[in-house]
Amino acid sequence: MTTELSTRGKTLDNLFAIADQFKPQGKVIDVQAFGNGNINDTFLVTLESCAEKRFILQRINTQVFRQPELVIQNMRTFTEHVRSRQQHAANSSDRRWEVPRVLLTPDDQGYCIDAEGSFWRGISFIDTSQSFDTIQDIEHAREVGYALGKFQSLISDLPSARLADTLEGFHITPRYLEHYDQVLAKYDANNKSPEVNYALQFVRDRRAWANILEDAQAQGKLSLRPIHGDPKVNNVMIDTATRQAISIIDLDTVKPGLVHYDIGDCLRSCCNPLGEETEDWETVRFEPDLCQAILQGYLSLAKDFLTENDYEYLYDAIRLIAFELGLRFFTDYLEGNVYFKVKHPEHNLARALVQFKLTESIESQATTICAIIQDMR
Structure confidence at residue 2 (pLDDT): 32
DSSP conformation class of 319: H
Nearest to 309 by CA among 213, 175, 205: 213
Rounded to an integer, what distance in angstroms lies between the CA atom of residue 139 and that of residue 294? Answer: 9
What residues does CATH 3.90.1200.10 cover in the chain? 138-376
Instruction: Give φ, ψ of 33 to 5 degrees.
Output: -55, 145
Q: Which fold has domain 138-376?
A: Aminoglycoside 3'-phosphotransferase; Chain: A, domain 2 (3.90.1200)
Q: What is the mean pLDDT of residues 174-187?
A: 96
- 40 or 189: which leads in pLDDT: 40
Rounded to an integer, what distance in angstroms lies between the CA atom of residue 288 and that of residue 213? Answer: 22
Least confident of 21-30, 160-169, 196-205, 240-249: 21-30
Q: Are 125 and 57 in contact (CB under 8 A)?
A: no
DSSP conformation class of 50: S
- What band does 186 get if pLDDT is binned at 50, 70 and 90? very high
The pTM for the full model equals 0.89
Q: Are 102 and 75 in contact (CB under 8 A)?
A: yes
Residues 6+ apart with CB under 8 A from 189: none
> 228-270, pLDDT tens digit by residue?
999 999 999 999 999 999 999 999 899 999 999 999 999 999 9
Measured in whole angstroms, the distance separating CA 144 from the mean position of its chain's CA atoms is 13
Q: Are 45 and 56 in contact (CB under 8 A)?
A: yes
Q: Are 78 and 45 in contact (CB under 8 A)?
A: no
Residues 6+ apart with CB under 8 A from 344: none
> 56-79, pLDDT tens digit by residue?
999 999 888 889 999 999 999 999
Q: Are 235 and 212 in contact (CB under 8 A)?
A: no
In DSSP terms, 40 is beta-bridged to none
Residues 6+ apart with CB under 8 A from 230: 250, 252, 253, 265
Rounded to a whole number of angstroms, the CA Rg of the chain reads: 21
Per DSSP, helices labelled H in the chain are 3-6, 12-19, 68-87, 138-154, 173-186, 194-206, 212-218, 259-270, 288-302, 308-312, 314-335, 347-364, 366-376
Structure confidence at residue 23 (pLDDT): 74
Rounded to an integer, what distance in angstroms lies between the CA atom of residue 85 and that of residue 99? Answer: 12
Residues 6+ apart with CB under 8 A from 330: 180, 199, 203, 348, 349, 352, 356
Q: What angle do CA 38, 272, 247 make, to 5 degrees?
A: 60
Nearest to 248 by CA among 105, 3, 82, 41: 82
**Helix or strand or coil: residue 372?**
helix
**Helix or strand or coil: residue 46?**
strand
Rounded to an integer, what distance in angstroms lies between the CA atom of residue 39 and that of residue 1? Answer: 10
Structure confidence at residue 292 (pLDDT): 98
> 353-368, pLDDT tens digit by residue?
999 999 999 999 999 9
Q: What is the mean pLDDT of residues 200-209?
A: 96
Measured in whole angstroms, the distance separating CA 333 from the mean position of its chain's CA atoms is 20
